[in-house]
A and B are shown apart, each in its own frame.
Chain A
Amino acid sequence: MADSVHQVEPSTSIAIPGRPVFFRALIATFGRPPIWIIAAGMTALLALISAAPWFTWFDSVLANRYAPGTLIRELSETFRFDNLVASGPQTVAARGSGAALALAAMLFGAFQAGGWLQIFLERTHGHSVQRFFHGGSRFFFRFVRVLLLTLLWLHIAGWLVYETPWKWVMSLFFGAVDGNLEVLTSELTARRVVWMQDGLYACLFCLISAWGSFTRTRLALQDTNSAVWAGVCTWWTLMRHPLRTLAPLCSLLFVDGALLLGVALLARLLQSGLGAAGDWMPVLFLFLLDLLALLLRSVVRGAGYHAALQVSVQVVQPLPRPDPWKHAIGGPGGPQYPIGGDEYGVSL
């Protein structure tokens, strides 16, 4: 149940009408550079842990065995094959550490969500970093439970789209046994079926991601503990208000895509400039582009929570809260007079 001590109220900025929700969310999020820098920096740190061993590996493999500049643009067929065995242990290590880093990234994602929501739910008065960490730790375990539910929903979505139900549909419509599409008479039809299948899964993936955002927002907004109940209520909310809830997040998805496209064009330009021995600059700029992409995506991800909160404060019913003065007249710091009692006391 609600804990009045930790109860937070939405910041007044959340409810400002006018511009589209996603746009307001982007503006509000962009205005908090320390937070998205921390968010991006944490992902960058994890990525650096993953990538750093490759530097050592390349440095030792290249040694004095390859002409400077010949392996800048791309790795030749002979390089790839000749070093296949040598890269084996590094590949195994990278897979193992990558799995651990993936787990760390997911947990940090849960932490980060709490931080963003804490900031958007209260006035931070310039203490946003402090409140970010406070919110992250405060909601962490609740959001980890949401993560587990997210994985469960993804499993169900995958089962629906790639397992028995889909095969049954394929059998019904095309007579395809065990989902084998070779019974079709056209490759294009088969391609369209696969696009439909993968597209449906992608839509479900996005829907589940949106569900996760709204569930976390609901948990933070109502300050409740049950991820399962909040999740059930969120599905209901999503069904009641599909456009209102999903449109802002879809808009942010398009913004994310557009930003990535822009960065990708720059990256392509830089990649085409690679090749000269000893030319550091394109490599340096590519590193900076990677960081820029992470920063931009972190802003968009933070904006997702701001947008979810904007919508939630309008569509999520506030929980009935216990009235501390229900059985007394008076207030904190002053005398309290029990209603219906013959005696009275003073509460300090």
Chain B
Amino acid sequence: MGNRGWGAWTILMAVLAIPGRSSGGGPGPYGPQVDQPRVDTRIAAAYREEGRRLDGSVTQVWTNTTQDTVPDLWFHLYWNAFSNNQSTFLSESGGKLRSHSVTPGTEQDSEWGWQRVTSVVVAGEERIASLRYRQPDSGSSLDKSVFSIELAHPLAPGQTVEVSVRWESRVPRLRRRTGYKDDFLLIAQWFPKLGVYQSGRGWNCHEFHERSEFFGNWGTYDVELDLPAAYEGHVFASGVPLSPSERQGERVIARFQAPSASDRAHADAQGHTPLVHDFAWTADPDVKPRRATFHFDEWRQRFPDEVARVQNALGKERDISLSDVEVWVLMQPEHEVLWKRHYEATCTALFFYGLWFGEYPYERVTLVDPPWGGGQAGGMEYPTLFTCGSSLFVPEDSQTFENVAVHECGHQFVYGVIANNEFEEAWLDEGFNSWADSEALLRRYGPRMANTEYSGLHYPGVTIFPIGGGGALGDMIAGRALDVPFTGFKFQPLRASGFVDYWRDQPSLAFVSSYADQRWADRSDYLRDPAGDPLSASWRYKNGETYKIGAYVKPAVVLRSLPAVLGPDGDARLLRGMRRYADALRFRHASTVDFVREFNAGAGEDVSWYFDETFGGTGTVDWKIEVSEQRVADPMGFAQDDVGGPFEFQDRLEKREPQSEPENRLDILVSRTGELCLPVDVRWTFEDKTSETVRWTRDEQQKSRWKRFTRISTKKCVSAAIDPDHGYFLDLNMRDNQWFKAKDIVAPWRWTERAFSRASHWLFFQGGLGG
């Protein structure tokens, strides 16, 4: 899809008319700022291991803050996504949950999960008879992840209603964010949850999709959990426990409050009282909880440059200090030794995100390390609680867990504090987070080291040269595999096997160290399919790849390129724009329109066009620079002194003194392919290290796809570059963005040596099979 205007984009999205509302079509997902409804929730639930049952009741108090009179209430029943393989979720995923096929078969199979509502009392009146399953997005009648209740009396604007729902559920095997693995429980999206009502749009209550996350009302949670006694002292949740868990025979009662009482009593610097928009909990008899406190002053001393950068951008008068946060790290026993890495990563997010988006407003944050076989719970965020993952023998330089922990803790800011509709505008949390996590990781850990795994052990380094094989013929010749015709038999003499592969590869001799700057790695991910989709509702992307690009990395590279768009002082203006947005939307539901409005105000420049073209379109850009330099010839030839006079040959046409040094004509041609027109600098440097920088403006690029710069000088040009400071992370190919007079003559030998080393050890290994 080509580049389109913001208006056209908005209209198109409206025409697509993403369903999910009980009333009217309304504007598209980029419509005006949504209402800021509040729902306070009380839950009492009991878990029983027999049959993996989780039953309970939830009371939600909702005030109609919209301008509409509301005739019904819509709820999510997320676990019904796992109740049959025709649900919207499993239909979209091809019956798979994070690459794991749901076991076909009977009710006995442990993969399934479901939720059943047994009672709905609205304002003291039982309304279960009006329950109706809704499929606002797919129309699949077998999806039961959304239901509605008809109100006996429509709720007028400003009125409040209390609705109590009793439900029963079967806990699914942990395959997708929630469920159990042996004794471990990670329970999320687990109760009948009221959807979000938006003025003019009705209920924004989507089915559970494979590629989407959630959207919830702001409010408070008071939760009481009744669990087997084995979990005593090992239950953790969003918020904080109200008191130590209480033993009652073979059961234990744990009570939680989110936000905590002290959080609720403490308004932040902007005067907002903290709220949350979801509640999740975890229980594990084996978990080893570790606790430490994040102190801003420690981190301020460790990263004074970053503090100064933010302080300078926001102004000296702005208080950018952050509150202390109690960090709980719930480690599996065999991973306990790794807890400090998780703690450090969590603090990394609390510090850098705190500087960029404002402080973390809750007293506690809890990190959950799922057990072996429960990794599908990892990498997910809930208010004040998030999951990551650990693995043994993984070097810190690879940043494998650190990457996840920083990202998920980062969601406490973009998702947790600044909430958004993750169904429809996932980029507002995932994209922001991808931008910020790479920046934070780079500042704390440096570039990420690539390594090669042999039998679960990591060797630092990689090979960049392929070895023989590939294709049926290649594999056969190299002795790897042969499909014996007509038999179905596969002859595989040389299999992948860690220790033998290590001996074959000899990585200590033949590999190269490789580090990736996370910011540029985002660009690489974006360029896998840069024109695949504009930003869209999560389930409307072409495939998982374009979803990942659209929700995660494209926004990241677009945001990261903003300083180049903004020009001088771009970095500070970026920080100001981001902070303005974060301050304005704290404890609110943010939309793209909110972001653009607030960012423009904060950055002091209207760059709506940039977001329009990048987020609303699929346009790309690829710049190129070509340089030619040649000596200026002395002016000579036939000249005509007078009009009508004869032409006479002259060996010097101009009567000026010859230059002591020959003059050179420098021609620099910059050109652009792709639809994006972004202002960019062009710089060339002469042999005396002087340089000249000019800006190729957006207007100029809109008029012409190329521009030529010509200079006559006695100095020779040694290098020239377009976007010389590498401010844009969007260029399709940066190889042709620069030119150097001198050529690297060692590098080809250097890499040929590596190829030789790689090939020699591999061929020696192969030769050993022969004799």
Contact = CB atoms under 8 A, between A and B. Distances in A.
Interface in A158-198: 158-159, 161-162, 182-191, 194-195, 198
Interface string A146-158: 1100111011001
A291 B740 CA distance: 34
Interface string A65-85: 111111111111111111100
A264 interface: yes
A95 B468 contact: yes
Interface in B485-506: 491-495, 497-500, 503, 506
Contacts of A154: 493-494, 769
B750 interface: yes
Contact of A297 (B466, B719, B736, B764): B764
A68 B497 contact: no
B740 A59 contact: no
A43 B761 CA distance: 9
Interface string B447-470: 000000001100000001111111
B478 interface: yes
Nearest to B752: A55
A196 to B, nearest CB: 10
A82 B523 CA distance: 10
B745 interface: yes
Nearest to B528: A81
A77 to B, nearest CB: 4
Interface stretch (B54-62, B239-247, B510-518, B667-675): B510-518
A95 B469 contact: yes
Interface in B218-253: none
A133 interface: no
Nearest to B100: A182
B151 interface: no
B750 A283 contact: yes
Given A47-B763, A96-B474, A80 B464 contact: yes
Contact of A61 (B508, B735, B758): B735
Nearest to B747: A71
Nearest to B627: A64
Interface string B723-757: 00000000001111011111111111111110111
Contacts of B741: 64
B609 interface: no
A198 B753 contact: no
A313 interface: no
Interface centre among A44, A54, A96, A182 (most CB of B within 10 A): A54
Contact of A71 (B473, B719, B736, B744): B744
B126 interface: no
A47 B520 CA distance: 33
Contacts of A246: none
Contacts of A95: 466-471, 474
Given A69-B744, A74-B513, A101-B763, A54 B493 contact: no
A268 interface: yes
A113 B767 CA distance: 10
A187 B372 contact: yes
Given A68-B743, A74-B515, A95-B469, A283 B749 contact: yes
B759 A64 contact: no
A73 B473 CA distance: 35
B744 A62 contact: yes
A48 interface: yes
A105 B763 contact: yes
Contacts of A23: none
Given A43-B763, A82-B734, A195 B771 contact: no
A114 B771 CA distance: 8
Contacts of B733: 82
B182 interface: yes
A274 B750 contact: yes
B668 to A, nearest CB: 13
A237 to B, nearest CB: 18
A202 interface: yes
Contact of B475 (A80, A99, A286): A99
Given A67-B740, A188-B392, A297-B764, A54 B465 contact: yes
B491 A105 contact: no
B756 A48 contact: yes
B509 A267 contact: yes
Contact of A97 (B468, B513, B746): B468
A207 to B, nearest CB: 12
B341 to A, nearest CB: 15
Nearest to A188: B334
Interface centre among B515, B746, B759, B764 (most CB of A within 10 A): B759
Given A59-B748, A287-B753, A98 B759 contact: yes
Nearest to A276: B746
A264 B466 contact: no
Interface in B386-442: 391-393
Contacts of A301: 768
Contact of A65 (B738, B748, B750, B753): B738
A60 B503 CA distance: 33
Given A61-B735, A155-B493, A198-B498, A283 B520 contact: no
B766 interface: yes
Nearest to B332: A187
B770 A113 contact: yes
Contacts of A111: 770-771
A5 interface: no
A182 B757 contact: no
B477 A68 contact: no
A46 B759 contact: yes
B521 interface: yes
Given A81-B524, A279-B746, A65 B495 contact: no
Interface in A15-49: 43-44, 46-48
B735 A44 contact: no
A286 B479 contact: no
A233 to B, nearest CB: 18
B770 A47 contact: no
Given A55-B749, A96-B474, A101-B763, A158 B756 contact: no
B768 A143 contact: no
Contacts of A194: 455-456, 498
B508 A260 contact: yes
A92 B373 CA distance: 37
Contact of B749 (A103, A188, A209, A280): A280
A47 B760 contact: yes
A110 B770 contact: yes
A151 B748 contact: no
Nearest to B520: A77
Nearest to B736: A65
A129 interface: no
A294 interface: yes
Contacts of B182: 185
28 contacts: A43-B764, A51-B755, A54-B752, A55-B749, A58-B747, A62-B743, A64-B742, A81-B524, A96-B474, A98-B469, A99-B468, A103-B477, A105-B764, A107-B770, A108-B770, A109-B770, A111-B771, A154-B493, A155-B492, A161-B497, A187-B334, A198-B499, A202-B503, A205-B500, A267-B508, A286-B753, A290-B753, A290-B760
Interface of B: 182, 332, 334-335, 371-373, 391-393, 455-456, 464-471, 473-475, 477-479, 491-495, 497-500, 503, 506, 508-509, 512-517, 520-521, 523-524, 527, 719, 733-736, 738-753, 755-764, 766-771
List the 5 closest pairs (A to B, CB-CB), nearest first.
A98-B468, A109-B770, A113-B771, A109-B767, A264-B508
Given A279-B746, A290-B757, 20 more contacts: A55-B749, A66-B744, A68-B745, A71-B747, A82-B735, A99-B478, A102-B477, A109-B768, A109-B770, A109-B771, A112-B770, A182-B372, A185-B182, A185-B372, A191-B456, A195-B455, A205-B497, A264-B509, A277-B746, A290-B509
